[in-house]
A and B are shown apart, each in its own frame.
Chain A
Amino acid sequence: MRITLNVWRQQNAQAPGRIVSYPRQDVSPEMSFLELLDVLNEDLIAQGDEPIAFDHDCREGICGQCGVMIDGVAHGPQRITTCQLHMRSFADGDTITVEPWRADPFPVIKDLVVDRRALDRIISSGGYVSVNTGSAPDAHATPLPKENADRAFEAAACIGCGACVAACPNASAMLFTAAKVTHLGELPQGQPERAARVVSMLDSHDAEGFGGCTNIGECAAVCPAGVPLDTISQLNVDLLGALSPRRPG
């Protein structure tokens, strides 16, 4: 396949960036998208050029490191992570634009790599339960209906990739925050801090500079973990509860 990659190159956070074009003649449809970047980088290094910086770790869709904007869509044309995307998803002769996630709370570190620690700080502000850890409790010590367990698990599937922020026209991290709030809010252990959690996490979300949600739904449409849009409805319910002074937590 012949593929032209238009890649965002940026030396560091302060430097202005620009798109650089890299035409390739030898792309195999079986290659993953990251392998194409690897091959391109080997050539760049051989020519004495600087390789393209991009984040990646597991290369099997579980770590959430490899997020980039591919042709205007977070993680490209399929609802999977970039490392799971293969060149067979593109046509011979395609020109593909590759950019970093764009959100002010995600400053560019270099080329396609952004600093996503703002998401970690939202978790530190309340995405946990305050219990003393000892030995693991028996699995059947706290009964839990299957429905709640499934819902908690679905929300807990979030890998923190940031695609929801990247795709959102408001650069809101509401789906990410809602996934965490739903995950813990469905479980008995999450109840005592439920009201305080949603307020602390939203406060942190806003303070990090993410935009407000306007229920457009681009986030859930690109989320590789399939976190559903109605987790945001559930977060809204929790916030409504937290507005009542009688609610504990």
Chain B
Amino acid sequence: MATTTAAARVRKARRTSVGLKLAMAITGGLFVLYVLAHMYGNLKVFSGQEAFDGYAHHLRELGEPLLPYSGFLWVMRIGLVVALVVHVWAAVSLWRRANHARSTRYVKFRPVQATWSSRTMRWGGVALLLFVIFHLLQFTTMTIQVGGSFDSPYDRVVAAFSTWYILAIYVLSMLALGMHLRHGIWSAVQTLGWSTRRREPAIKRTALVIALIIVVGFLVPPIAIFLGVLE
């Protein structure tokens, strides 16, 4: 076991496939926290136009005067982009490694206990990446405007989700997110070494519950808008 110094060992440890997985687990965990906060913000549409627009405005003033206007938002954005680059880079490295590890496929292969979620992490992740790009073009840069152009974030959201195909895109994307998180949260916990045989069923149940909360929490506002509950 000839690692000469502790420093050499640490360098080698970082380069292992488990090192890559740790990077995925930590960045994935940050996304989960962010997504929960984002969901909470979205649910403010039910408090009315003033509250929702006020919340969006407040986010820009957060941290003032210590931070400039929108400063907090930019710190978040940069942090999330860096995390996303690390997450996707590690995912792609592990994906390539797995492809090289089995270049001849089985004639017949029957998984014994894998879930749909666990077997679709990679293509599901690609779908999420496409969704994130679309979502940013729609509500951050406002390059894609559906249903008209508005100054109020509330009006923008209501106009967008009154359109059936926008609703459809979001429903499909949130289902993909739910599947990614159902396996991802459990996987992150095990990667961080917190799983034991006794805790495993509870961790998997908790991951499923968090994933369901996120799917429902994100889909309630768009569906309410589409059905005309909010206008």
Contact = CB atoms under 8 A, between A and B. Distances in A.
Interface of A: 6, 8, 19, 69, 71-73, 97, 99, 102-105, 125-126, 130, 167, 169-172, 193, 195-200, 202-203, 205-206, 209-218, 221-222, 228-230, 232-237, 239-240, 242-249
Interface string B64-100: 0000000000000000000000000000001001101
Contacts of B16: 199, 202-203, 205-206, 239
Nearest to A198: B13
Given A126-B1, A213-B21, A233 B190 contact: yes
A215 B187 contact: yes
B108 A217 contact: no
Contacts of B205: none
Contact of B100 (A125, A209, A218): A209
A104 B102 contact: yes
A228 to B, nearest CB: 5
B3 to A, nearest CB: 5
Given A218-B114, A247-B6, A233 B109 contact: no
Interface of B: 1-3, 6-7, 9-10, 12-22, 94, 97-98, 100-114, 118-119, 121, 183, 186-187, 190-197, 200
A215 B21 CA distance: 10
A2 B107 CA distance: 22
> In this complex, which of B10, B107, B195 has the most chain A Cβ atoms within 10 angstroms of its Cβ?
B107
Contacts of A246: 6
B190 A236 contact: yes
> In this complex, which of B12, B193, B195, B200 has the most chain A Cβ atoms within 10 angstroms of its Cβ?
B193
A194 B1 CA distance: 10
A97 B106 CA distance: 10
A236 B192 contact: yes
A218 B102 contact: no
B118 A235 contact: no
Contacts of A19: 107
B119 A233 contact: no
A212 B107 contact: no
A19 B107 CA distance: 9
B1 A169 contact: no
A211 B20 CA distance: 12
B1 A170 contact: no
Given A214-B121, A216-B118, A243-B10, 19 more contacts: A130-B1, A167-B112, A169-B119, A170-B94, A171-B102, A172-B101, A199-B9, A199-B16, A203-B12, A205-B16, A214-B187, A215-B183, A218-B111, A221-B113, A235-B18, A239-B18, A243-B19, A245-B6, A245-B10
B90 to A, nearest CB: 9
Given A102-B105, A200-B1, A169 B111 contact: yes
